[in-house]
Amino acid sequence: MVTSASIGKRLRVRVTGKNAKGTASASSALTAVVAGVVKNQRPTIAILSARFVGPTIFVRFRVCDDSRKNLTILATDSRPGVASYTRRFTTVIAPKPCGAYTRHWTPVARFRHGKVTVSLRARDKSGLTSLAARRTFNR
């Protein structure tokens, strides 16, 4: 395992295999100099497509994150002058570092007609949240 003690050094791995016919070893080439730990950045999210099919909204989005763990996606339906409604769901497969996902839902009754804005935000396990990606519909 590479640790902080390896920062600034080059590494080489030696692997030994053993079976009934004997033992053999091989060494890797030297790595580049091990860089410092990368600071956790907040995830990014972009809506690739969004559409209503009947009363259901289908959204395809791309999310990227450097933690390589599952993310919580916050999907908010809103309209000026009306209380917004937020759903939360978690990715089943973590983006490595990016992934494309599809989600669908039926908005609550107050968002099925008229002007509706759908906002998506991604939150990583450390609590960092992306900027919102939005689409607005007139229904």
Q: Whose structure tokens read 């916050």?
A: 74
Determine which of 10-19, 36-45, 46-55, 100-109 has the lowest per-residue pLDDT on average.
36-45
Backbone angles phi, psi at 55, to 5 degrees: -85, 0
Rounded Cα distance between 131 and 44, Å, is: 7
Per residue in 77-94, pLDDT (tens digit) is 999 999 999 999 999 999
DSSP reduced 3-state for 111: helix
Rounded Cα distance between 53 and 117, Å, is: 16
DSSP reduced 3-state for 4: helix
- Would you kindly state where each structural domain of the chain is located, as residue ranges? 1-37, 44-138
CATH T-level assignment (fold) for domain 44-138 = Immunoglobulin-like (2.60.40)
Q: Give percent above pLDDT 90 in the chain.
A: 69
